[in-house]
A and B are shown apart, each in its own frame.
Chain A
Amino acid sequence: MRTILVRAFAGLLALAGIAALAVGIWLVGAVDSDGTATLSANPDDELVVLTPQVLNRVDHPVTIRATGDGELWAGLARPSDVESLLADSARTEVGGADIRDWALTTTDRAGDPDAATVRPDRAEIWQRTSSGDGTIEVVIDQEEAPQTLVLSAPDGSVSSLDLSATDGSWFTTALVLLIGGAVLLLAAIALLVWSLRAGRRAGRASAAAEAGDTGDVAGSDPGSGAGSDTDWDDDDGQSTTVLPIAAGSEPETAAIPRHAEAAETRELRPAGGRAATRDAASDLRPADGHWVPRDEVAAETAYGELAPDDLAPDGADAEIDTTKETPR
């Protein structure tokens, strides 16, 4: 149960980390270091209307920069005034933003073909107007929000739009998300790895305990990993064996020096009975049912593993007195 909880928690951490990381990467890529985010559109229409849903969503000034052919005109007015003015006029309406692509969403609104052509620049609904040749820039300070911006190019078209808003906290937020997400993800990975290793050890302990309970030791082999882990230390010639404890106990492992184990095994060796603990000696019970002395087994094992010719000292004979160099 504990393993499941740990893995589930690691999964949650990983999800949160990935989400934060993804948003952080996306935000860092989209926001300038001064916190300026820019959304764009290419309406290519002679009459373009930007609604409050793109102009008045933040408390900071928003800058609209439009380019097009010929003289461009811009007017800011109350939304209901613009709707009254352009009710029957064909236009491109910019009414939202696709934040994933940092693009303004545009909608073509068909007008009434029988309606009289409206010249926005001749109406008296405007709070502020400006004009420019080929390029125009309008700053919306949000003081009179909600507002609608109308851009017109009587002799051409408004080809492109850039909407920029600056908030110094956006870039900081992006960095926090980026770093926080990475930390969460690494923590999740570490937790998952620890959990997997613990689970594997628990699994091995469980299997070994099961095998011990039934007395079936076939396939168990010291150092094979199925029943125990044996680490050989070449430096001091000592070896240790990780012995799983009896079934029903906590799946913890204990490292016991081989010589102690062997000595204890020798003392516990039953006369045809069952070993009290699973150990290397029990796995080596010969077919005739006689126990082999532990020190002999250790010598044989050590000889087989530690006496290749390439490990022999220079000039020395291949025959090594393993009983002195390896644990008994």
Chain B
Amino acid sequence: MTRSRLLAAALAAPLALGLLSGCGAAAEFAGIHQAPAEAESGAALSLTAANEILPRVLAAAGEARSNEGDDDARKATLTGPALREAEAAAKAGTRSKEVPDVEPQVLAVSRGTQWPRSILATARVGSTQHLYVLVSSEASDGFRVFADVPMAAGAEVPAVAPAAEGAPTSLTDEPEGKAAEVLGAWIKAVEFPAPTTKPDGISVMDDFSQALKTKAKTQDDDLGDLVSYRQQQELAEEPAITFELADGSTLGFASATRTDTFTAGSKLKELKIEDRVISRLVDSSTVTKKLTVTHAETLAVVLPPDGAAQVVGIGEQVEAASGS
């Protein structure tokens, strides 16, 4: 290679490198860059999207619940405990739950890009504040109402994480972990007759638990010696969900079954069933020996990091009744 060729090569090499790097620099100069990477954390969906989805899904679910015969519509808009309640209501012929009369408010959305995804929301229906949970089980599956729980008077739910961050959620096929343990304790605590030993880890001093116990006691007092009254509950093997709250608390939703049993005493001639829904299910307005009524319940419970858990809401619907 002659000296001139060597010189030309020595000059051409940096030029070529310069041109190549210049292309990247030109792109950068023009403001063209790589697309940003997708964040794996953060809310599963934007607050805007959640606010668009929420009223539409609640309205569709409300319409499906009002149409007793449309089983497909119920399954298309409801799932989990809410579907159980709706099907029970359809069977019992009770009036459907009302849709919110004010714009529902998104409290939290689940975190991460995976499915299932969920939305926690609240709205006022009449004079009662409701908690709503919407769940989407997979990408091609739209959101459906998972839980619709009226809040107990005076109940409070601690603050949730900002919607943009998303809240860690856990959707299981049946109640699990601490939530199941606490709910099991609460169920025992509100049984009637009351248990001899007070279950640990749950408070029943809230208005709702007290009202439930008082109602059972009143019922029993009214029936006197003629009828033996017993109220029992158990957690249902239905899907349950928990949301982690900002202060470390957990808000859990689970399904339970309450069974009221009326057993006639020896002095009872007949027990008249005043509740039209129950009499329709029993297909009789009176029983002489025994009446059993089951309710589909949806419980909302707050489990603080320290201290006793508290039920903050419960929805119930007569599911079945039998008598003899």
Contacts and interface: CB of A to CB of B under 8 A. Distances in A.
B205 interface: no
Contacts of B30: 167, 169-170, 173
A79 B35 CA distance: 11
B140 interface: yes
A127 B142 contact: no
B35 A57 contact: yes
Nearest to A27: B30
A167 B31 contact: yes
B7 A8 contact: yes
B77 to A, nearest CB: 12
Interface in A103-141: 116, 118, 122-128
Nearest to B57: A124
B35 A125 contact: no
A323 interface: no
Contact of B37 (A15, A23, A146): A146
Nearest to B22: A19
B29 A173 contact: yes
B34 A15 contact: no
A127 B26 contact: no
Among the interface residues B45, B46, B136, B139, which one has the most CB atoms of the partner chain A within 10 A?
A: B139
A78 B113 contact: yes
A12 B38 contact: no
Interface string A66-95: 000000000000111100110000000000
Contacts of A51: 35
**Interface extent on B, as a size class?**
20 to 34
B246 interface: no
Contact of B48 (A80, A81, A127): A127
Given A84-B139, A123-B142, A144 B7 contact: no
B31 A127 contact: no
A4 interface: yes
B53 interface: yes
Interface in B116-160: 136, 138-143
Contacts of A231: none
Interface in B86-141: 113, 115, 136, 138-141
A312 interface: no
Contacts of B32: 57-58
B15 interface: yes
Contacts of A127: 45-46, 48-49
Nearest to A85: B139
B98 to A, nearest CB: 23
B35 A59 contact: no
A84 B36 contact: no
Contacts of B59: none
B11 interface: yes
Given A84-B115, A84-B139, A145 B15 contact: no
B1 interface: no
Interface string B226-258: 000000000000000000000000000000000
A81 B36 contact: no
B17 interface: no
Contacts of A81: 113, 139
A26 to B, nearest CB: 12
Interface in B39-89: 45-46, 48-49, 53
A52 B37 CA distance: 9
B31 A4 contact: no
Contact of B8 (A8, A57, A145): A8
B6 to A, nearest CB: 10
A79 B38 contact: yes
Interface in A247-302: none
A228 interface: no
Contact of B11 (A12, A145, A167, A170): A12
Interface string A294-314: 000000000000000000000
Contacts of B136: 124
Interface of B: 3-4, 7-8, 11, 15, 19, 26, 29-38, 45-46, 48-49, 53, 113, 115, 136, 138-143
25 contacts: A4-B3, A8-B11, A15-B19, A52-B38, A56-B36, A57-B32, A57-B33, A58-B31, A59-B31, A59-B33, A123-B140, A123-B142, A124-B141, A124-B143, A126-B49, A127-B48, A127-B49, A128-B49, A144-B46, A145-B35, A146-B35, A146-B37, A169-B30, A169-B31, A173-B29
8 closest A-B pairs by CB: A52-B35, A84-B139, A85-B139, A56-B35, A124-B142, A80-B113, A124-B143, A8-B11
